[in-house]
A and B are shown apart, each in its own frame.
Chain A
């Protein structure tokens, strides 16, 4: 860890986090804050997905499950047990991580393609569960009363608090990605991603590492989910397990360059800006999925290294500084 602080990239992350935190404060710009909130969310989801995808080479189509489940646990605790925000978030994060660990130990025995397929099924299965589970409001979901914002100082202030926590979660995701990448654990994951059999023969405890990274990659997205749905004061299965959001996290990771910390962050940022533009332009509103799909196809066919792959090949020096 100490060695990480000395490296320049650590400070680049810190600067980015500070920029996010301070930009909307200056001038009390609420619409900027909302836009940056979504950016931070995308960066969080994509960075954590990247731990599985870019490092260990396992495609997790169902990463959205962490987000949705985290949302449900947090909202449920706040609604049914009158908990405040922060403890609910913490519990949501820990629960979803724990579930991921247990579940992961099972499905991570499946290799590459089969694992990916099971993650597609997970979304279906968990969504069906949420739709039938009455304590969670079934298919109608849960509505939160406005009183949830009182402990945070009223609705206006609550939105700022939520924003800062989200920026914190984003920062944590970036630091986490970086810390793992420069650690022994990360080296093992990269080896698994390159050649799992060879990695095992070299002594990498593949089953354990895969389960650990799967579990770790669940924690922050679960908290982000809790935050997001708390803020919306409403959660229902079709929103919580929205397939488009899951695929967008994937697209973003590939766009920026899977396996890179910077790439994922930049990719998330660019994509969210693009999406924001598309949504406001009425012709494109329905074509969100089409655009993500087309973009992903182009990237996979022609630029598998993503944006960072292209930058590294043109400007090799940057690879020493950026991760």
Chain B
């Protein structure tokens, strides 16, 4: 499998805080890679660096072979990389359909308007929002908004989809549903890099896990390995429940 996303020795500092330090890892085509770590570990910052919201202080990021280090966000989107946000960012006064159409129009395929609406409807169907096509985004529930965030990114038909805590704030039924959706998305050929705190979910979904702590890579490997990794357990030691979950889910895999 070829590497779709390569992050090489990337560092980023904000004032006195070293958010990301010398980080290297890759995401191969067709994989689902999970990114975990305690709060403040630098996961969302990493997304922002890949995405073009911030430029790294040093290091290199390449996508599909091309260097995208420090590229503007819209260019990264055009290259075929889509992301969702931890705090959802709907286009509030536009309908669900229009929201997704924006994603479809300006994504990798640069579709004309009517084709974009088709792509939007497809994405909405995958995610389960078809019945709410003409509802304004501001009228959706939090679960609906999360689905919209996902559908909008999917409508762009990206090669790589970065999900930032897409399961946060959802009840167990909704989580089940989203997990199913994520699996479907992978089956459609989209590579996925996801940040998540819901341990069981991310352990069962991911092919590989990368663990971050204090902006650095702590461990990397298949879920079973990572769950047994002593340093990972120690990083979560402040939260015994989580450590137990890691142990537990390690066995299930």
Contact = CB atoms under 8 A, between A and B. Distances in A.
A203 B156 contact: yes
Contact of A202 (B53, B103, B113): B103
B72 A202 contact: no
Given A195-B91, A201-B51, A203-B156, A187 B72 contact: no
B192 to A, nearest CB: 17
A190 interface: yes
A194 interface: yes
A204 B91 contact: no
Contacts, number: 70
Interface residues of A, number: 20
Given A184-B116, A195-B92, A204 B98 contact: no
A3 B115 CA distance: 14
A184 B113 contact: yes
A202 B92 CA distance: 15
Contacts of B105: 184, 187-188, 203
Contacts of A187: 98, 101-102, 105, 113
A199 interface: yes
Q: Which of B89, B90, B106 has the most CB of A within 10 A?
A: B106
Nearest to A194: B91
Contacts of B82: 202
Given A191-B94, A191-B102, A201 B113 contact: no
Q: Which of A194, A197, A201, A206 has the most CB of B within 10 A?
A: A201
Q: Which of A183, A198, A203 has the most CB of B within 10 A?
A: A203
Contacts of A201: 51, 53, 73-74, 77, 83, 89
Nearest to A205: B74
Interface string A174-215: 000000001110011011001101111111111000000000
Nearest to A191: B102
B30 interface: no
A153 to B, nearest CB: 44
Q: Which of B53, B74, B93 has the most CB of A within 10 A?
A: B74
B144 to A, nearest CB: 16
Interface string A276-308: 000000000000000000000000000000000
B78 interface: yes
Contacts of B113: 182-184, 187
B121 to A, nearest CB: 15
Contacts of A202: 74, 77, 82, 102-103, 106-107, 152, 156
A199 B107 CA distance: 11
A202 to B, nearest CB: 5
Contacts of B77: 201-203
A200 B102 CA distance: 11
B73 A188 contact: no
Given A187-B105, A191-B94, A191-B102, A197 B116 contact: no
B112 interface: yes
Given A184-B112, A184-B116, A190-B94, A204 B89 contact: no
A203 B93 contact: no
Contacts of A205: 74, 106
Q: Which of A182, A194, A202 has the most CB of B within 10 A?
A: A202
Contacts of A203: 74, 77-78, 103, 105-107, 156
A204 B73 CA distance: 9
Q: Which of B53, B105, B112 has the most CB of A within 10 A?
A: B105
Interface of B: 51, 53, 72-74, 77-78, 82-83, 85, 89-94, 98, 101-103, 105-107, 112-114, 116, 152, 156
Given A194-B92, A206-B74, 19 more contacts: A3-B114, A184-B105, A184-B112, A184-B113, A187-B113, A190-B91, A190-B98, A191-B94, A195-B90, A197-B89, A198-B90, A199-B91, A199-B102, A200-B73, A201-B77, A203-B78, A203-B105, A203-B156, A204-B102
Closest 5 CB pairs of A and B: A203-B106, A203-B77, A194-B91, A198-B89, A200-B73
18 contacts: A183-B113, A187-B105, A187-B113, A191-B91, A191-B102, A194-B92, A195-B91, A197-B53, A201-B53, A201-B73, A201-B74, A202-B77, A202-B106, A202-B152, A203-B74, A203-B77, A204-B74, A204-B102
